[in-house]
């Protein structure tokens, strides 16, 4: 396992959709590195493109900062369902440090994915887990949380981010 450098916005790799994983065994080291990097950052989720690996993989552990560790790796995730109920919450991103965006997300989602053994899984997420799963899933499609905002709000937050980096 090793720490990987987290790409920072506006790195163009963060804007590109990722390729599906054909061989689960081939991403074992990447998944280990993603967990190590996520916990060290410290974050609640990290997607492969955030470290420059352009494959459909993300890891998450929504509650580890508040209690028990529950690490989960999702390979080739698919969003199967989302609740009509939504909520707006402040979201941060390890690739856009220092800026929190008010993003509207479904409060519950169901995802299908492949686990590290190669088995197909389905899982329901709610609350903080649902938010983290949706945020990381977006990264696999080349989206960041700024892309979920209206253009004026996104421009304002991008200006804030640019000022932090200057």
Active site residues: 136
Three-state DSSP class for residue 88: strand
Position of tokens 């686990």?
115
Which whole-number Å values give the CA distances from 139 to 7, 48, 67, 94, 98, in the listed order? 12, 8, 26, 11, 18
Q: Is 36 left (phi over 0), alpha (psi -120 to 50) or beta?
A: alpha
Task: Classify burial at 64, counting beta carbons within 10 Å of its beta carbon; exposed 0-12, middle 13-18, buried 19 or more.
Answer: middle
Residue 153 tokens read as: 């709000």
CA torsion sign, 141 to 85 to 66 to 125?
negative
Q: Which of 42, 35, 87 is nearest to 66 (CA)?
A: 42
């Amino acid at each position: 396992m090793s720490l990987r450098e987290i790409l920072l916005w506006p790195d163009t790799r963060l804007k590109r959709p990722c390729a599906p994983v054909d061989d689960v065994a081939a991403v074992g080291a990447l998944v280990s590195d993603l967990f190590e990097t996520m916990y060290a950052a410290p974050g609640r989720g990290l997607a492969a493109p955030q470290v420059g690996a352009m494959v459909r993989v993300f890891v998450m552990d929504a509650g580890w900062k508040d209690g028990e560790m529950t690490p989960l790796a999702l390979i080739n995730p698919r969003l199967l369902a989302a609740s009509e109920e939504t909520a707006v919450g402040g979201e941060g991103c390890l690739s856009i440090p220092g800026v929190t965006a008010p993003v509207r997300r479904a409060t519950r989602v169901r995802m299908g994915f492949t686990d590290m053994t190669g088995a197909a899984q389905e899982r329901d997420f709610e609350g903080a887990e649902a938010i983290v799963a949706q945020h990381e899933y977006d990264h696999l499609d080349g989206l960041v949380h700024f892309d979920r905002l209206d253009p004026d709000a996104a421009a304002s937050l991008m200006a804030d981010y640019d000022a932090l980096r200057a």
